[in-house]
A and B are shown apart, each in its own frame.
Chain A
Amino acid sequence: MPGWSSLQLTEFFSAITRAGDVAAATRIAVQRAAEATDAELAAVVCGDTVPASVGLGRSPDVALFTGLPAGDDIADFPGLGPMHLTVHPLDRDTGDRILVARAGDAFEPEERQMLQGMARVLGLALRGLRTLETERELRREREREAASRLELLEALERRERLLETLLRVQRMVNPRTPVDETLDAITDGARSLLAEATTALVLRDGATLTVASMSRGTDVRVEVLVAAATQSLAEKAPVADGSVLAAPVKIGEDYAGAFVIAGDGQEILEAFAEQASLALTGAHTLAAVHEAHHDSLTRLPNRKLFLNRVEQVVGADPAALLYLDLDLFKQVNDTLGHSVGDELLRGVADRIRGAIRDSDMAARFGGDEFAVLLEPITGTEQAVEIAQRVIDSISQPFAISGRMVRTRASVGIAYSDGVRTAEELLEDADLAMYRAKRSRPGTCRAYDPRMRTDDLLRAS
């Protein structure tokens, strides 16, 4: 049943957050992990000890669990025979792990991913609970220093907030939540835990990596985020480059991208990367992520993805924004029908793609409106030159269903000045396009602040 694993993880979260000590947390973990996968055996192994196990009675020989060679996926247990085995680390540094064994079917990737999610949650819960136990121990000794106590309590509070946030995010994630909201819930959730940081999900989109969701708290360039993600994907492991951290995100068995934190967030990085993997695996595929950010007709990025990218570059390199509107499109639609209109829009998208450079980004905003981000540019001449190239290529006739269809584009240009936001730039370019369309359709005009004054004068 699709989606069952993320729901089980939600229940696991709820149960584990109620545990008051290490013994209770590990006990709940082995029970829930075994029940969720219909497995006979489960155990938590911490060093040479087994704080909790189910399936082999009250006091099984701990060596049965601690002695299992790493990497084996079949294990023999006395009285039960050979069983499928899956082992999941609770964290990166201690070697603590949860193992689950089942006699029937082998573990599916979705199950292993769910168990890995449970393992991480347990790992976080145990760290919090151990801090709490240390705190209790210290209190008993009555010799602790006020400062260290405060530090411990703060550490505990942080862990509790982390678990609560993960739980909140997890509850949001179900197969009916739109992909966009799911991704935003993860980046926003992680960001809410960090004082000063930017969090992002960088996912594959065809051959390139794009920022699919970002929660911005610091000034960081998108290239930096993408570079960290690229490195993490290449190493298939968490990486740290200065203050930028990245951990891979998987959809099923495939590496789909990375969760990136620009700032101090080492302790939550992997938990959120796991969370993202699980959320995306539960119901979504890369195709669905792509789908959520692209126009289905032309396959161009949609307004949201476009603005995201513009926002990332406007403060950095010189850039220009083109706003395109087709003249005569309505007549094409009305006289030749919507299918010809759709075909024309696809053709226009192809022509725009052909006329711009690889580093530029074209988008469709719906209807007959398109936009292009030119980045980087050497100056205004270069932007005008590319805009003209776009206009010329669109003005060539399109052969659609045996007839020649003509259209033309009016283009407005706005230049980044390091001050105006993405939305403001877009407005400027839109206004310039409107002026071009009104005065000389099929040409381009650059934005000039006087255009606004003119409009005001005319309106008054």
Chain B
Amino acid sequence: MHNVDERWFGVGRSLLEDPAEAGAQACREATAGRQPTLLLVFAALRHSTPAMAEAVHAAAGGDVLMIGCSTAGEFTSDGRGSGVVVTALGGPGFTASVRAIEHDSMDLYEAGVTAASSLDDIDAEHRVVLLLGDGRSGDQQEMVRGAYSVAGAGVPLVGACAADDLTQTGTVSFFSDGTTVRVLPNAVLGAALGSPSPLGVGLAHGWHKIGEPMVVTRSEGGKIYELDGEPALDTYLRRTGGAPDLGDDPGAFLTFAAVRPLGLARRTGEDIRIIFEADPAVRSISGLADTPEGAMVWFMEGDRENVVDAAAVATREAIGELGGDAIGVLVFDCSVRLIALGGDGVDLAGERVRDVLKPVPYSGFFSNGEIVRRANAKGMHHLSVAALAVS
């Protein structure tokens, strides 16, 4: 059935209730009896157990490199769901090396340096570093900066931050450097992948800025206290048409604000900041990434058609970089797009990716921040779709 002389990209999915059974089933489907070079595991939060990680690893033969993380939903060519998705890469020429950095063991910059040092073990014509950030702590751009300091301009960085089903409770990472399996809370993982044939990267979001700009007159890290000299929460709610007391209900505010992000001026467009929290006592709003004082920001608006299409656009761009046929594509899709587009919209986005790729398989997950660092892409992205095409 499979030609063992070729590189392969296998995807398996299971929606079984039991995490370990789901993991084993997904892994068997992905590997189909072949020995993989690298396993990628994406699992729903309730499936993110040590037993699941062990079961996936064992089903692949028990001596294989593995990275993975919890998600806000996974997807493959068969659609999206909440269970376990395993992606396996193997065949002649593929080489891989992995690193795991436990939460708080070092700062995010050093975590990025360590994750990308996996490249030291890989000597191949084409290389990429896959990064899985924790999606919860501080300024994730620092992690990407650390990784770029090692990888340099010659090796693209791509990946995403783990998610927690939008529960804000914490993420889980799965890791194996061969024999032992580790399950780590809020960790940063890196995998260097080498191949004799090209690897392609794509990125798209489909949002654009609207209205008049505002100046961030007071902020600290990701917390914005003042916009245009007024309490940020008041300005934000007035300009977006939100109810003045919306800040008092964290759940309602998250749902409202997640699809009304801010954009920072950049040379080639805008850097999106998702607003996820309000502090009604000090009238501030918070985003996941640093929004510096003195910066000028706009409201960002997503034209539904463009936002739906972003997944297909990113996929097409990644494929386009190959200069040939893909054997599979990894897609990292922002979890907030679920809120912005709703189930139907996300399914439509998936269909379009399928149409672009047919019959090539793809897999991925809904993430808390997408990573692409290469020319014209500075690293951490939000409300975006990142893609890695493998040939």
By a beta-carbon cutoff of 8 Å, the part of chain A in contact with chain B is 1, 3-5, 7-8, 10-11, 13-15, 27, 31, 35-38, 40-41, 54-58, 60, 79-80, 102-104, 111, 170-171, 174-176
Known: A104-B375, A174-B294, A174-B296. A41 touches B265 (CB 8 A): no
Contacts of A57 in B (CB 8 A): 149-152, 154
Residues from 261 to 302 in B contacting A, C-beta threshold 8 Å: 264-269, 292-296
> 20 new A-B pairs (CB below 8 Å) besides A11-B294, A170-B294, A176-B213?
A1-B266, A4-B265, A7-B294, A7-B295, A8-B265, A8-B266, A10-B293, A10-B295, A11-B292, A14-B293, A31-B149, A38-B268, A38-B376, A40-B152, A40-B375, A55-B152, A57-B150, A80-B154, A103-B375, A176-B215
CB of B148 within 8 Å of the partner chain: yes
Contacts of A174 in B (CB 8 A): 215, 294, 296
Interface size on B, residues (CB 8 A): 27
With both beta carbons as reference points, the residue of chain A lying nearest to B217 in the complex is identified as A171
CB of B145 within 8 Å of the partner chain: yes
A18 vs chain B, min Cβ distance (A): 11
CB of B106 within 8 Å of the partner chain: no
Contacts of B154 in A (CB 8 A): 57, 79-80
Contacts of A56 in B (CB 8 A): 152-153
By a beta-carbon cutoff of 8 Å, the part of chain B in contact with chain A is 113, 145, 148-154, 213, 215, 264-269, 292-296, 375-379
Contacts of B295 in A (CB 8 A): 7, 10-11
B10 vs chain A, min Cβ distance (A): 32
Majority-rule SS of B interface residues? mixed
Whether B148 contacts A4 by the Cβ 8 Å rule is no
B168 vs chain A, min Cβ distance (A): 27
A277 vs chain B, min Cβ distance (A): 18
Question: In this complex, which of A14, A58, A175 has the most chain B Cβ atoms within 10 angstroms of its Cβ?
Answer: A58
With both beta carbons as reference points, the residue of chain A lying nearest to B378 in the complex is identified as A35
Known: A1-B265, A4-B267, A35-B378. A10 touches B294 (CB 8 A): yes
Whether A58 contacts B149 by the Cβ 8 Å rule is yes
Contacts of B296 in A (CB 8 A): 3, 7, 174-175
A-B contact pairs, 9 of them (CB 8 A): A7-B294, A7-B296, A10-B292, A13-B294, A38-B378, A54-B149, A57-B149, A58-B149, A175-B296
With both beta carbons as reference points, the residue of chain A lying nearest to B376 in the complex is identified as A38
- Tell me which of B148, B292, B376, B379 contacts A104 (CB under 8 A): B376
Q: How far is the CA of A58 from the CA of B293 in the complex (A)?
A: 31
With both beta carbons as reference points, the residue of chain B lying nearest to A5 in the complex is identified as B267
A66 vs chain B, min Cβ distance (A): 18
Contacts of B148 in A (CB 8 A): 31, 54-55
Q: How far is the CA of A11 from the CA of B271 in the complex (A)?
A: 13
Known: A10-B295, A38-B378. A4 touches B215 (CB 8 A): no
Whether B294 contacts A171 by the Cβ 8 Å rule is yes
Contacts of B294 in A (CB 8 A): 7, 10-11, 13-14, 170-171, 174
With both beta carbons as reference points, the residue of chain B lying nearest to A172 in the complex is identified as B294
Contacts of B264 in A (CB 8 A): 7
Q: How far is the CA of A346 from the CA of B336 in the complex (A)?
A: 60
Q: How far is the CA of A8 from the CA of B295 in the complex (A)?
A: 8
Contacts of A80 in B (CB 8 A): 153-154
Contacts of A175 in B (CB 8 A): 296
Q: How far is the CA of A22 from the CA of B334 in the complex (A)?
A: 37
Known: A38-B375, A38-B378, A174-B294. A1 touches B153 (CB 8 A): no
B128 vs chain A, min Cβ distance (A): 15
- Tell me which of B153, B268, B292 contacts A14 (CB under 8 A): B292
B57 vs chain A, min Cβ distance (A): 31
- Tell me which of A7, A15, A40, A58 contacts B265 (CB under 8 A): A7
Contacts of A7 in B (CB 8 A): 264-265, 294-296
Whether A40 contacts B153 by the Cβ 8 Å rule is yes
Q: How far is the CA of A13 from the CA of B294 in the complex (A)?
A: 10
Q: How far is the CA of A7 from the CA of B268 in the complex (A)?
A: 14
A109 vs chain B, min Cβ distance (A): 14
Whether B153 contacts A4 by the Cβ 8 Å rule is no
Whether A37 contacts B267 by the Cβ 8 Å rule is yes
A305 vs chain B, min Cβ distance (A): 28
With both beta carbons as reference points, the residue of chain B lying nearest to A83 in the complex is identified as B153
Contacts of A176 in B (CB 8 A): 213, 215
Contacts of A55 in B (CB 8 A): 148, 152-153
Contacts of A103 in B (CB 8 A): 153, 375
- Tell me which of A31, A37, A41, A170 contacts B153 (CB under 8 A): A41
Contacts of B379 in A (CB 8 A): 35
Contacts of A60 in B (CB 8 A): 152
B148 vs chain A, min Cβ distance (A): 6
- Tell me which of B145, B151, B152, B213 contacts A31 (CB under 8 A): B145
- Top 5 closest A-B pairs, CB basis? A40-B153, A10-B294, A171-B294, A57-B152, A4-B265
Q: How far is the CA of A360 from the CA of B293 in the complex (A)?
A: 45
Whether A36 contacts B267 by the Cβ 8 Å rule is yes
With both beta carbons as reference points, the residue of chain A lying nearest to B377 in the complex is identified as A38
Contacts of B215 in A (CB 8 A): 174, 176
Question: In this complex, which of A8, A10, A57 has the most chain B Cβ atoms within 10 angstroms of its Cβ?
Answer: A57
Q: How far is the CA of A15 from the CA of B267 in the complex (A)?
A: 18
B252 vs chain A, min Cβ distance (A): 32
Whether B153 contacts A58 by the Cβ 8 Å rule is no
Contacts of B265 in A (CB 8 A): 1, 3-4, 7-8
Q: How far is the CA of A9 from the CA of B213 in the complex (A)?
A: 18
Q: How far is the CA of A27 from the CA of B265 in the complex (A)?
A: 23
Contacts of B113 in A (CB 8 A): 58
Q: How far is the CA of A8 from the CA of B296 in the complex (A)?
A: 10
- Tell me which of B152, B266, B267, B293 contacts A54 (CB under 8 A): B152
Q: How far is the CA of A175 from the CA of B214 in the complex (A)?
A: 11
A238 vs chain B, min Cβ distance (A): 27
Q: How far is the CA of A410 from the CA of B333 in the complex (A)?
A: 76
With both beta carbons as reference points, the residue of chain A lying nearest to B297 in the complex is identified as A7
Contacts of B375 in A (CB 8 A): 38, 40, 102-104
B130 vs chain A, min Cβ distance (A): 18
Contacts of B293 in A (CB 8 A): 10, 14, 171
With both beta carbons as reference points, the residue of chain B lying nearest to A168 in the complex is identified as B294
B96 vs chain A, min Cβ distance (A): 19
Q: How far is the CA of A274 from the CA of B149 in the complex (A)?
A: 29
A172 vs chain B, min Cβ distance (A): 8
- Tell me which of B213, B267, B269, B292 contacts A111 (CB under 8 A): B267
B343 vs chain A, min Cβ distance (A): 35
Q: How far is the CA of A108 from the CA of B348 in the complex (A)?
A: 41
Question: In this complex, which of B151, B296, B375, B377 has the most chain A Cβ atoms within 10 angstroms of its Cβ?
Answer: B296
Question: In this complex, which of B149, B266, B295, B375 has the most chain A Cβ atoms within 10 angstroms of its Cβ?
Answer: B149
Whether A4 contacts B266 by the Cβ 8 Å rule is yes
With both beta carbons as reference points, the residue of chain A lying nearest to B264 in the complex is identified as A7
Q: How far is the CA of A37 from the CA of B148 in the complex (A)?
A: 15
Q: How far is the CA of A14 from the CA of B292 in the complex (A)?
A: 7
Q: How far is the CA of A11 from the CA of B269 in the complex (A)?
A: 16
Q: How far is the CA of A4 from the CA of B377 in the complex (A)?
A: 16
With both beta carbons as reference points, the residue of chain A lying nearest to B149 in the complex is identified as A54
Q: How far is the CA of A79 from the CA of B127 in the complex (A)?
A: 13
A15 vs chain B, min Cβ distance (A): 8
